[in-house]
Structure 1
Amino acid sequence: ELLRSLEVPSHDRYEFLFEAVRRGVGAAELCERTGIDPWFMAEMAALAEGENPEAGLVRTFKAVDTCAAEFEAATPYYYSGWERPGADGPRHEVRRGEKPSVAILGSGPNRIGQGIEFDYCCVHAAMTVRASGRDAVMINCNPETVSTDYDTSDRLYFEPLTLDDVLGVLEVERPEGVIVQFGGQTPLKLARGLADAGVPLLGTPVESIHRAEDRPSFGTLLGELGLRSPPYAAAGSAEEALAAADAVGYPLLVRPSYVLGGRAMEICYSRDALAGYLERTAGGGRPAGIIFLDRFLENAIEIDVDALCDGESAQVGAIMQHVEEAGVHSGDSACVIPAMSLGPEMLAEVEAATTKIALALGVIGLLNIQFAVYGDDELYVIEANPRASRTVPFVSKATGVALAKVACRLMLGERLADLDLGLDLPASYGHVSVKEAVLPFGRFPRADALLGPEMKSTGEVMGVATDYPAAFGKAQAAAGARLPAEGTVFISVTDGDKSSATQLATSLHDLGFRVLATGGTAQAIRRMGVPVERIPKISEGSPNVVDRIESGDVDLVINTPTGSGARTDGWEIRRAAVGRGIPCITTMSGASAAQRAIRARRAGDPEVISLQELHAEAADARAPRTQAQASRMGGARE
C-alpha cells in the first residue's frame, strides 16, 4: 500500500518516500514507481537515512540573476544556499548600503484565510519605511505578491517564513527592527522565537500578542476591564472538552488555538456533535494544541473594528457591521461602513471598549476586534487580534486613510496626537461602502455553498453608493452574483426563519417575482396571502426543486439551514444553484439586503463613483478643521 501511494503525486508523497527508504526499499524500485531521477532519489535517500547535507557548509545569500548572465544584474533579489565558506567566512552577494534597515515579514503562500489583503499591508509598510529614510527589507517566499516586485523594497529575500530561515536573513541584515504584524498569522507565530533570539520587534510587544491569542488570559483581561465575553473554556484533550462543554453551554463555537481563516472551526449544537468534531480533528484523543470552546451567540449582530494605537492613545479606523449574523466567518460575510443598524449609544460603547482593550494590551500599530450585539443591546467581545486584519484594505479605501501606513509610522515612533487622520468624517460625507466576499464554489461543484465559521472565500470586492441597498447591489454584481431584477425566487428556510421568510416573500412578490417553496415554507408564505407554488423536496420525487433549478426555471435561491441534523436537500439545492450560476443566499439577513438591493436597482442603475472623488471631498471637508488646529498650535505638524 505504501508503494502504491508513491505512484500518484500528492502533498504527502515525500513523507511516504522517506518512510519507504527507512523500510529498506531499494532506490531502483522507488525510481521506477515514482519516475524521480536517480540522482535526486539518492539525495533524498541520504536525507531519509539521517545524513546532514549541510555539514561543513554555511548559509550564503546569492543574488538572483535577473539578466540571464547577459550582463551583471543589479536587482536586489536574494536567496540562500549552502556552500563551503571562504577564507573570510560566507561569500554573500548582498549589497547593503549605509542606511539603517527595517525588515518586514510577508505572509507567504496565498491560501484561504491568508491572502492578498495582508500583502497590501506589507507593501504599504515598505513604502512607509522607505519614506522614513530607512531601507525596507522584505522577507517573503511568494513571487505572486506585490511585496516581491522589484521596486517595492530595497532588498528582497525569497526565503520560507520559518524561524531558522528568518534568523538567517536577520544575521546578515542586522536591522534596527522587525515588523511581524502585517503578514497575518504566519509571521505572528514567529514573534516569540524572534524575541527569544534577541531580535528587536517593532510594534506590539510579544507578551501582548500572546495575551490576546490565549483565550483564558484574554478572558481575564476583559473581566478586569468590565467588558462582557461569551462563556468559554479551554481544553487539552477530548475528555476535557466534553466535560467543559456542559458548563459553557450549547451551542458552542469550537476552534483550535492560533488559527487564521477559521480553520477547523465549527458550531456544535449538542454533545454528540462536539464528540464528532473531536473525533474528526483529534482522533478522539489529545489534539495538537489547546481547544477553545466559546458559547455561540446565535442571531447576534457581529461587528468588526479596525483601530490604531500608539500605546498611549487609540483611534478607531472604522466600525463595520456584518450583513450576516454571527456564525459566518468575517472573511466570508459582507460588511458595511458605516454600521447601518447601530445607534449612537452603541457606537460610542464600541469605541470605548476598543480603546480600553487597545491600551490594556499595549498595542502599537493595528488592532482588530470582533464584537457581537446580543439580546437587549448587550455588547460582547468575541476576540481581539493585535495585527493587521484582512479588512484593512477595505477600511482604507472606504475612509481614505491608509491604516497600514499610519500603523507603520506608529511602530517607527510617531504618535497619534501628531497625526490628523480625519477618521471621524467618513460617516458624514454621504456614501456607504459594502465589502462582499468572492466565493470559489463555481470551481468546486461538489463543495457546499453554505457559509459558516470556517472561511471559504478567495477574494473580496467593494461596492460604493449613496445608500446601502445600492452599494450592496453593486458589491453583489462585482462578486459575480448579480441579483436578478425579475423572475422566479425559490425559498426554503429553517423553522426559526419562517417568520422572516414570509415577509421576504411578500416583498419579492410585490416586486413582481414568482415564488416557489417547499412544504412548510410554502405553507407559512400562503398564510400571509402571498401566491406561492409548492414544489416537492428531492425525496418526494420529480420534478423537484433541483430539477427546476437545473432546468433554468429559478433565478434566485434562498436556503437557510441551521443547527444540526441532515442537510442533504439543502446541499443539493445549493450545489445545483452554484452549478447554474444562480445567486444562492444562505442567511436571512443577506436575503433581506438582497431584496432591498433589487428594489433599489428597479429604481435605476446607480451612478459610478470613484474613490478619488470621495476622498477629495473628505479632504476638502477636513481642511477647515486642520487649518483651525494649526492656527491654535502655532503651525501645522505633519
Structure 2
Amino acid sequence: MSLEYDCLFISNGPGDPSLAKTLIQNVCKVLESDHPQPVFGICMGNQITALAAGAQPYKLPMGNRGQNQPVVNVMMGQAFVTSQNHGYGIDSKSLPPNPFYFSSFNHPYGIMHSTKPVFTAQFHPEAKGGPTDTEFLFDAFISLIRKGKEGSIASVMPKKPVVPQRIQVSEVLVLGSGGLSIGQVGEFDYSGSQAVKAMKEENLKTVLINPNIASVQTNEVGTKQADPVYFLPITPEFVTKVIRVERPNGVELFQSGVLQKYRVQVLGTPVESIMATEDRQLFSDKLMEINEKIAPSIAVKTVADALKAADKIGYPVMLRSAYALGSGLCANREKLEDTALAMSCQIMVEKYLLGWKEVEYEVVRDVADNCVTVCNMENPYSQTLSNEEYHMLRETAIKVVRHLGIVGECNIQYALHPSSLEYCIFEVDARLSRIALGIPLPDIKNTVSEQTTACFEPSLDYIVTKIPRWDLDSFHGMSREIGSAMKSVGEVMAVGRTFEESIQKALHSGVTVDQIHDLTAIDKWFLHKLKHITEMEQLLGQYNSVTVPRDLLLKAKMDGFSDQQVGQALDISEGEARTVTLNQNIRPWVKQIDTLAAEYPASTNYLYCTYHGQHDLDFKDHGIMIVGYGPYHIGDIRALRQMGKRTVVVNHNPETVSTDFDECDRLYFEELTLECILDITQQEGCTGCIVSVGGQIPNNLAMPLHLKGVKILGTSPVQIDRAEERSVFSSILDDLGVGQAPWRALSSLEDAVSFASTVGYPCLLRPSYVLSCSAMNVVYGQEEMKRFLEEATQVSQDHPVVITKFIRGAREVEVDAVARMGKVLAHAITEHVEDAGVHSGDTTLILPTQTISQGALEKVKTATQKIAKAFEISGPFNTQFLVKGNDVMVIECNLRASRSFSFVSKTIGVDFIDVATRVMLGEPLDESCLPSLENPIIPVDYVGIKAPMFPWPRLREADPVLCCKKTSTGEVACFGPNIYSAFLKAMLSTGFKLPQNGILTGIQHSFRLNFLSTAHQLHEEGFKLYATEGTSAWLNANDVPTISVAWPSQESKNTTLPSISRLISEGHTDLVVNLPNNNTKFLKDNFQIRRMAVDYGVPLITNFQVNATSLFHYRQREPRLSESSAGSRHN
C-alpha cells in the first residue's frame, strides 16, 4: 500500500472485521508511520483501526441496529444520539496499554490517538438515515486535512462545554397546577406528582403548594409525597408567605423581587427562557435570531390592532394569547372581534396554516447541553413523516431548545407543509424534571427499562393513540364543533401493534379516500387505514357465527375489533361473539411497553393486550385487580401493596398517577370494558377484583363481571345493582322507613304528567346507571316533561325512569362512609353551600357542617346505618340527603368511593380509602381510632372548604349557570380558622378575583330579601353598584344607592341608561352577581350578561348561597391575610 495520500477515510462494511486481514495490515502500516496524514474511520472503519492498533473484536449478542443509539464523547462530556448498524464490538480492555490510544466515545464507540491525527466512530455521523447530532466529526476531519501538520484533533473538535456544578439544595418548593380545568387537566397533576417523586428520590425536603384536594400530590403520608403540603391559592401573595416560612433553596416559579429577597434559586429553565416561550413577541424575536421559521404573525394588545393585523395577514387567522393556554381560529372580522375579547392583554395574530400537518416533539436538555427527543407525535399520530422530515424537525427542535436555554423537558409544536419541507414553529412549552438539579442525563437511570440511562431516544414496536373525551351534553347551548380552542374534559389512551388496532374508529360514509382528503387535508395514509377497517366490517357482515372463517375472525381482532363490533357484524350479541372467538381459540397476547422495541432485555410492568405476537411474561403471580380511571384513588393500590398483595391495575387515562408504571405490580393500559377486564383477569388468574374506587364506569361492570365468575371484593354486586336501579332503591327505602321525596317509577308520559299534577311542579327525572347525572333534569312544566322524559328513556332503556318531587329551599348534606358487613366503621358529614338542585360535584362543600341542626344530623346518621345494613355494605359508600328544617330525605346512595373521599380524608386525618381497602380484603382494623357514627371526628379549630373549578371560559357557547348535571372539571380545597377565611382562600384558588370597584347585580324577586343585607354592606364598603332596572329600583327604594343599567336586548332602544356591554368590556365592573330563576322573561338577557362576564374574565356569581357565605365580608372579617394563613393544612 502506498503511503502517498492527503487523508484516509475508512468507511463501513458488513460482517466480522477480523476477516479483512489485508485492510488491517495496511492500516497498521499507516498507524506505525511517523507522520501519517489524517485518518477517520466510521462504523467498520472504527473496528479496522482498533484491530490494526492491536485490540480484539467480539460478537454482540443482539447487534446494535437503529437510529437511536446513545453514545458519550468522553472528551467533551456530551451525549449524542447516533445511527448504528453493526454486529461486532471492540473490547476496550484489549486496546494497547501504551498511552497513545484511548476511547474517545464510551464502550468504545470510537478511539483516538493522543499525538497523531487518527480518530474513529463506531456509528454513522453521515446520518443517512438517522440523527445529525455527530455531523461535526466530518467538519473536524476536513479541518484537520486543511491544517496539515499544524493540526491536532483537539484543535478541530468542539470544546468541552462549561457545565455548572450540581446545584446544592436541601429544600425545594414545588407549585402544583391547582384544580383541573379544560386546557389544564390531569397531565399537569401527573407531571407535578412526578416532580415531587423525583425530588424525594434525591433526598430533598419537598414543600408543596397545591389546593387540589383530590390530587395524589397532596396526600400527606408516603415516601413519594411532599413533606409539608399547603392547601393555599397559588398566587404571589400566598407563595411569598410560604417562602417566608420555609425559606427553600429552589423554586419552580419566579415572581419579581420575592425570590431575590429571600435568596431562593430558580431550578432548571431560567426565568428569562420561560418568559421567552410564554410572551408571544419575545418568542417570535428569539426564533428570528436563529433564522427559524414561524407563521406570519403580528403581536397586538387591543382588539382594534388585532383587526388591522388580520387585514394585513389575510383571513383566516389564528389568535394566540400570552401566558395562557390554547388559541382561537377566526375566519372573519366578526369572529376575530368576538374571540379577541376573551383573550389576555397580549395577542399574537397568526396566519392560519390550513391543511398543514401538526407535529410535536418532546425534547429533554440538561445542564451539559445533552439533548434527546423523547418522542414525536403527529396530529394525528406520527406515521406519515419521511426520514428527512423527521430528522429535519428533530434537529430544529434541539437547536431551538438550546438557543432558548431550556433545562428540563419541553414540547415544541410545528406546522409542516404536507408536500414540501416547509415548516413553521408555533409553540414551545417548557416543563421541569430532576435535570433542574444539575444532574446530567447519562447519570440518570431509566426506571422503566432499568437497562439504560435517561440519555436515550426510545424505540417503539407499538403504536399509541390518545383520543380526547368530550362531555358537551352537560353544557347547555354548546356547539359540537371542535376547533383550535380546547373543549375536551379528558382523554383516553390506547396501545396496539398496528394503527387499526390502536385507533379502531371506522368511517361509515360512502365517500372515497380522495374526496375526504380534498375536504379535510388528512393524510391519505390514515384514510386508507380507516377505509380498511370499514372494509373488514363489511366482510364480516357476509358471514354468521357458524360460517365465519377463523382467519377472518383473527384478522378482525388483530385490527382492533371488539366483541361488540364482531357481534354487530355477525348479528349476534356481544356475549355470543365472545363465545365464538374463544371457541376458535382466539385470545389476546400480553406485551410489555419497554421503550426499547425488544432491542435490549428489559423487565417492565407496563402492559397492553394485542392479537399480534406472543406473551412477553408469565402469569405465576395471581394478584388483585383494581379497575378504574380516576386519578384520585391510588391510595387503594398503595394500601394493597403495604399488605403484601400483588396489584394488577387496568386503566386507560394517561393523565393519572395510577397509570404510573411504578405504582403497582402490573399495569394494563386497556379500555374499561367487560371484554378487556375478562381477558386480563382470566389471563392473570386474579384472586379478586375491586371496582369501587374508580368511579361509575367500573361500578357498572360489577354485575356483568360477577355473572362471568369474577370475584368482586367488597360489597356484593347484587347489592350494587339494587342501589343503582333507582326504582328498586326507592322501594327499599320505603320498606326501611327512611324518608325520601315523593316518587314514582314511570311507565308512560301520561303517568309522569299525572304524578306531577298530584305533587306539583317542579319535579326531578332520574334515570338509572348514568354518569354525572346524565339526562337528569328538573322539570317545570308539561312541555319540558315530554322532552326530558324522552331523553332520560334513551339513556336508561332497560330500566324505568324515576320521577320525584323536587324540594325547593332544602339544604343538602353528604355522608362519606366505610362499612363492614353492614356496620358503619367510619364516616364524615359535609354540607353543601348551594341549596339542593345543583349536582354534588359542582357544589361547594363545608366540613364541619354549619347550618344543620343536631337533630337533623342524628337522623342522617340513623338513615346511613339503616342503608348500610340493608345493603350489607362492605367497603366505601356515599349517601346524599335533603335537609329542610328537621325533615331528612335520602336522595341517593352510591356503593363506591365518591369524589369527596379525598376531601374528608385529608380534612379529618383518616384515610378512608385505606380503611375501605382493608375492609374489602378482610384485614383487621383498629376501630377505636376511626370516626364511627357514635364517635365522630369533627374539626373544632378549623374549617375545610372544597370548591369546584368550571370550564366556562373555554366553552364559549355554554351558559355558565349550575343545574343537576355536572359541569365542573376539577376542585380545590383550603382550610382556615373560620368559614370566612377558608371560603375566601378556596375561591381565590379557583381563580376568583376579589372586586375592588364596581359590581353589577341582577337579582330575581325570590332572592331579594335575603340579598338586601349584603347590598347594604357592599355600599358601606365603598363599592359602586350597578343593577338591572327592576333590581336597581328595588335597591334604591331600600336605601341602597344603585345606578340603573339597560338590559342587553334594550341597549339600542334605551340610550339614556349605561350599557352593560360597555361596563363589562371597559372594566367598570369587576364582579357580576346574576341570580336568575327559571321562570324569568329575561332568559336571553341573563344568559348574555353571564356570558359577557365570563368572556371578559370578570368574576361571576350565579348562586345566592355562595353570596350568602359572606364572600363580601372579606374586608371586615379578613383585614389582612395573617401569617397563619400559610399553614400546611388546617391553620
The answer to whether the superposition gives a TM-score over 0.5 is yes
Structure 2, unmatched stretches of 5+, are: 1-379, 381-467, 471-479, 482-502, 541-551, 558-580
Q: Which residue of structure 2 lines up, in the alignment, with residue 160 of structure 1? A: 671
Q: Is the Cα–Cα contact under 8 Å of residues 476 and 483 in structure 1 kept in the other structure?
A: no
Q: Which of 1036, 1058, 1064 is the aligned partner of 1:526?
A: 1036
Q: Which residue of structure 2 lines up, in the alignment, with residue 394 of structure 1? A: 903
Q: Which of 628, 638, 641 is the aligned partner of 1:106?
A: 628
**Alignment length, in residue pairs?**
584
Q: Equivalences for 1:109-120 in 2 at 5 Å?
A: 118-120=630-632
Alignment partners' CA distance in 2, 1:562 and 1:613: 37
Quote the offset at 1:593 in angstroms: 1.5
Quote the offset at 1:94 in angstroms: 3.1
Q: Which of 997, 1006, 1023 is the aligned partner of 1:487?
A: 997
Q: Which residue of structure 2 lines up, in the alignment, with residue 581 of structure 1? A: 1097
Q: Which residue of structure 2 lines up, in the alignment, with residue 558 of structure 1? A: 1073
Q: Which residue of structure 1 lines up, in the alignment, with residue 847 of structure 2? A: 337
Paired AA for residue 94 in structure 1: L
Q: Which residue of structure 2 lines up, in the alignment, with residue 412 of structure 1? A: 921
Q: Which of 940, 954, 959 is the aligned partner of 1:443?
A: 954
Q: Which of 808, 816, 824 is the aligned partner of 1:298?
A: 808
Quote the offset at 1:516 in angstroms: 1.3
Quote the offset at 1:379 in angstroms: 0.7
Paired AA for residue 903 in structure 2: F
Quote the offset at 1:140 in angstroms: 0.9
Paired AA for residue 782 in structure 2: R
What SS is found at the alignment partner of 1:119? Answer: coil
Q: Equivalences for 1:97-246 in 2 at 5 Å?
A: 97-98=620-621, 100-107=622-629, 118-121=630-633, 123-246=634-757
> Do the aligned partners of residues 478 and 28 (structure 1) sit closer, same or farther apart at CA in structure 2, a change above 3 Å counting?
closer
Q: Which residue of structure 2 lines up, in the alignment, with residue 476 of structure 1? A: 987
Quote the offset at 1:422 in angstroms: 4.8
Paired AA for residue 101 in structure 1: G
Q: Which residue of structure 1 lines up, in the alignment, with residue 965 of structure 2? A: 454
Moved more, 191-200 or 589-598: 589-598
Say if 2:840 is the partner of 1:350: no
Greater Rg, structure 1 or structure 2? 2
Say if 2:760 is the partner of 1:249: yes
Q: Which residue of structure 2 lines up, in the alignment, with residue 385 of structure 1? A: 894
Moved more, 558-567 or 403-412: 558-567
Paired AA for residue 305 in structure 1: V
Q: Which residue of structure 2 lines up, in the alignment, with residue 79 of structure 1? A: 608
What SS is found at the alignment partner of 1:446? Answer: coil
What SS is found at the alignment partner of 2:929? Answer: coil
Q: Is the Cα–Cα contact under 8 Å of residues 848 and 943 in structure 2 kept in the other structure?
A: yes
> Do the aligned partners of residues 287 and 537 (structure 1) sit closer, same or farther apart at CA in structure 2, a change above 3 Å counting?
farther
Q: Which residue of structure 1 lines up, in the alignment, with residue 1088 of structure 2? A: 572
Q: Is the Cα–Cα contact under 8 Å of residues 624 and 648 in structure 2 kept in the other structure?
A: yes
Quote the offset at 1:187 in angstroms: 0.6
Quote the offset at 1:501 in angstroms: 2.0
Q: Which residue of structure 1 lines up, in the alignment, with residue 577 of structure 2? A: none
Q: Which residue of structure 1 lines up, in the alignment, with residue 509 of structure 2? A: 20
Q: Is the Cα–Cα contact under 8 Å of residues 368 and 387 in structure 1 kept in the other structure?
A: yes
Q: Which residue of structure 2 lines up, in the alignment, with residue 625 of structure 1? A: none
Q: Is the Cα–Cα contact under 8 Å of residues 66 and 73 in structure 1 kept in the other structure?
A: no
Q: Is the Cα–Cα contact under 8 Å of residues 237 and 287 in structure 1 kept in the other structure?
A: no
Alignment partners' CA distance in 2, 1:361 and 1:611: 41
What SS is found at the alignment partner of 1:246? Answer: helix
Q: Which residue of structure 2 lines up, in the alignment, with residue 618 of structure 1? A: none
Q: Which of 508, 528, 535 is the aligned partner of 2:1045?
A: 535
Q: Is the Cα–Cα contact under 8 Å of residues 826 and 931 in structure 2 kept in the other structure?
A: no
Alignment partners' CA distance in 2, 1:433 and 1:606: 17
CA deviations on 1:457-489 (whole Å, 9 max, x unpaired) are 1100011000001100000000011322x3222
Paired AA for residue 1044 in structure 2: R
Q: Which residue of structure 2 lines up, in the alignment, with residue 313 of structure 1? A: 823
Say if 2:1114 is the partner of 1:598: yes
Paired AA for residue 626 in structure 2: I
Q: Is the Cα–Cα contact under 8 Å of residues 241 and 291 in structure 1 kept in the other structure?
A: no
Q: Is the Cα–Cα contact under 8 Å of residues 469 and 600 in structure 1 kept in the other structure?
A: no
Q: Is the Cα–Cα contact under 8 Å of residues 161 and 186 in structure 1 kept in the other structure?
A: yes
Alignment partners' CA distance in 2, 1:256 and 1:217: 12
Moved more, 207-216 or 176-185: 207-216
Quote the offset at 1:360 in angstroms: 1.3
Q: Which of 558, 565, 588 is the aligned partner of 1:59?
A: 588
Alignment partners' CA distance in 2, 1:536 and 1:372: 38
Q: Is the Cα–Cα contact under 8 Å of residues 821 and 873 in structure 2 kept in the other structure?
A: yes
Q: Is the Cα–Cα contact under 8 Å of residues 368 and 389 in structure 1 kept in the other structure?
A: yes
What SS is found at the alignment partner of 2:703? Answer: helix
Quote the offset at 1:318 in angstroms: 1.3
Q: Which residue of structure 2 lines up, in the alignment, with residue 94 of structure 1? A: 617
Structure 1, unmatched stretches of 5+, are: 1-8, 85-90, 108-117, 616-638
Alignment partners' CA distance in 2, 1:79 and 1:377: 54
Alignment partners' CA distance in 2, 1:262 and 1:455: 7
Q: Is the Cα–Cα contact under 8 Å of residues 506 and 531 in structure 2 kept in the other structure?
A: no
Q: So what's the TM-score if we normalise by structure 1?
A: 0.85
Moved more, 554-563 or 431-440: 554-563
Q: Is the Cα–Cα contact under 8 Å of residues 58 and 83 in structure 1 kept in the other structure?
A: no
CA deviations on 1:221-244 (whole Å, 9 max, x unpaired) are 212222110112223554554444
Quote the offset at 1:556 in angstroms: 1.4
Alignment partners' CA distance in 1, 2:938 and 2:993: 27
> Do the aligned partners of residues 198 and 611 (structure 1) sit closer, same or farther apart at CA in structure 2, a change above 3 Å counting?
farther
CA deviations on 1:67-116 (whole Å, 9 max, x unpaired) are 344422211111111148xxxxxx42234454x41100012xxxxxxxxx
CA root-mean-square deviation? 2.9
Alignment partners' CA distance in 2, 1:557 and 1:144: 34
Q: So what's the TM-score if we normalise by structure 2?
A: 0.49
Query: Greater helix share, 1 or 2?
Result: 1
Q: Which residue of structure 1 lines up, in the alignment, with residue 492 of structure 2? A: none
What SS is found at the alignment partner of 1:367? Answer: strand
Alignment partners' CA distance in 2, 1:289 and 1:457: 27
What SS is found at the alignment partner of 1:481? Answer: coil
Quote the offset at 1:291 in angstroms: 2.3
Q: Is the Cα–Cα contact under 8 Å of residues 1002 and 1074 in structure 2 kept in the other structure?
A: yes
What SS is found at the alignment partner of 2:891? Answer: strand
Quote the offset at 1:173 in angstroms: 1.2
Quote the offset at 1:613 in angstroms: 6.1
Say if 2:853 is the partner of 1:324: no
CA deviations on 1:389-421 (whole Å, 9 max, x unpaired) are 011111111111111111011001135564522
CA deviations on 1:148-187 (whole Å, 9 max, x unpaired) are 1011110011111110110000111111110000111101
Quote the offset at 1:381 in angstroms: 0.6
Alignment partners' CA distance in 2, 1:201 and 1:280: 32
Paired AA for residue 1097 in structure 2: G
